[in-house]
Structure 1
């Protein structure tokens, strides 16, 4: 069984997909168990989803882990490292085997990347390697896809490495881009595929780690 931490920033629909699968398949071999949910936003609805499922939720925003005064004066890089170090510390506390980034907006850095090398996956709302990298998240991705007049889009689950959206691809799901699409309608078509992909990617990671027994 793969002890898993899920990192979130927003509404948590992909977290909910992971929770629902685990609950539905506990008796017949779900290979992962969500031990903790961490959020870099204290008001993220994903935190409520975790609590409703009886899963511990930890807030790891810069303000929470650095203190308000220090966070206000800190650089972006300092905030990222502080959050990443807090995540690593909590992963040690919860005996975590793997990390799933499910709508996590902080760019991880420092010791966390090395400590969870080949044990951390991310869900990205496009078909990598296209439309990845700094600034490519949420509606920004869908806007870029439409501006480029792509005929298909989708989502990708990949291993996290030291780059931004550059790790080995594990799962991709594709959807058509329609002529009258807006970022909102395109997202609505991709979202159900994200829910499938995040579960498939997490199960695949458990196999890579030998945690599926």
Structure 2
């Protein structure tokens, strides 16, 4: 089961997936390629692991180019691991139920357009939430609105800053992304 991973940054979640694959924890899943929407260190991680990687610049036509690439590598499903661009158009229907996104909050809270990275953690703190975490969900035509696959929670501490909260959530993201990838690979492989 070929997996395409989409990234935008340093690729720590990608590294968690690479390490899980090496340890045999992705079931029938195999990372077949990595695409970034900008030059990113994540592509260095892919290269070091012998995984093909490329940049498809953010902007007009991005989703169509990614769809073409996904079909070329015969991707069974797509994982958005810190991918900052919003997918739209034909890829959403062509890969319906086969695109997963990792979001740094407990959706449906603190999701939607413009809610990523530090903005999410700051909003959680400003709202006085007692817990936060991460969500892996299926991608649909909305932004952070698809069905939830799994969530991992962390407490929000009285001393938390956006950075300290992000750090604790990031640890849970590495677990969640691997669990979701293995779940999707098993689910789709049995169809």
**Which residue is equivalent to 1:46?**
42
Gap regions ≥5 residues in structure 1: 63-78
Question: Which deviates further from its counterpart, 200-209 or 142-151?
Answer: 200-209
Residue deviations 1:54-111 (CA, integer Å, cap 9, x gap) = 000011114xxxxxxxxxxxxxxxx25x110010000111111100000000000111
Residue deviations 1:119-140 (CA, integer Å, cap 9, x gap) = 0100000000000000100000
Q: Could you state the TM-score of these two structures normalised by the residue count of structure 1?
A: 0.87
Contact 2:27 2:185 in 1 (8 A): no
Contact 2:103 2:136 in 1 (8 A): yes
Q: Does 1:104 align with 2:83?
A: yes
4+ runs deviating over 2 angstroms: none
1:177 is displaced (CA, Å) by 0.2
Distance (whole Å) between structure 1 residues aligned to residue 72 and residue 147 of structure 2: 28
**Which residue is equivalent to 1:126?**
105
Contact 2:106 2:134 in 1 (8 A): yes
- Between the two proteins, the alignment pairs up a number of residues equal to 191
**Which residue is equivalent to 2:2?**
3
**Which residue is equivalent to 2:131?**
152
Q: Look at both structures and tell me which one has the larger radius of gyration over its CA atoms.
A: 1
Distance (whole Å) between structure 1 residues aligned to residue 129 and residue 139 of structure 2: 26
**Which residue is equivalent to 1:162?**
141
Distance (whole Å) between structure 2 residues aligned to residue 208 and residue 20 of structure 1: 21
1:30 is displaced (CA, Å) by 2.6
* Structure holding more helix per residue: 1
**Which residue is equivalent to 1:70?**
none
1:208 is displaced (CA, Å) by 2.5
**Which residue is equivalent to 1:171?**
150
Name the Cα RMSD after superposition: 1.3
Distance (whole Å) between structure 1 residues aligned to residue 3 and residue 190 of structure 2: 13
**Which residue is equivalent to 2:184?**
205
Distance (whole Å) between structure 1 residues aligned to residue 106 and residue 24 of structure 2: 29
**Which residue is equivalent to 2:18?**
19
Distance (whole Å) between structure 2 residues aligned to residue 160 and residue 203 of structure 1: 17
Q: Could you state the TM-score of these two structures normalised by the residue count of structure 2?
A: 0.97
